[in-house]
Structure 1
Amino acid sequence: IMADMDPASIRAAVHRERQAKAITEYDRRVREDAERYGTATFHVGDWHSLEVARDRMRNNHSSSKRVQRIFITNIKIQPQERIL
């Protein structure tokens, strides 16, 4: 299939595949962290901010502190609520 595609389309397809893999990996880590550390609530604007917030969640929320939700706010997407 890729032989029939122009180079820009191939690059776009590869980029989408990388993004999908990164999102899947992040979601897996968030579920693991939620089980291990509890969940947290934070607002972010991009993937880098999301990683920073994830690290803060892990450092600041011990298993004795339980927060119910993660709010993910992306500038390009309407706010979403993920309940873990």
Structure 2
Amino acid sequence: MANEPVRRPTSRARSDYRLWRDLGYAGGAVVAGFTADLLGLHAAVWLVAALTFGSGVIAALRMTETLKLDTGLDDGKNIDEYSP
């Protein structure tokens, strides 16, 4: 990537995210296709469900919330008044 140093860090991060996201789409389709050919469509759907569930569990355990909201629910105001 010849233009890597001139791009802003947010732009680089966004393109890195898109690279891995798009590779996941392509790789997932290939894995699901091979699984469907070898074990049947039912097994391929269950594999996709298991991988999706597993990635959700990993994200829930590894990721932390970065936006800290003080909702102030103890002051009797409506929660809709605090939404961004």
TM-score range, shorter chain: 0.3 to 0.5
TM-score normalised to the size of structure 1?
0.47
More strand by share: 1
> Which one has more relative contact order, counting CA pairs under 8 Å at least 6 apart?
1
More helix by share: 2
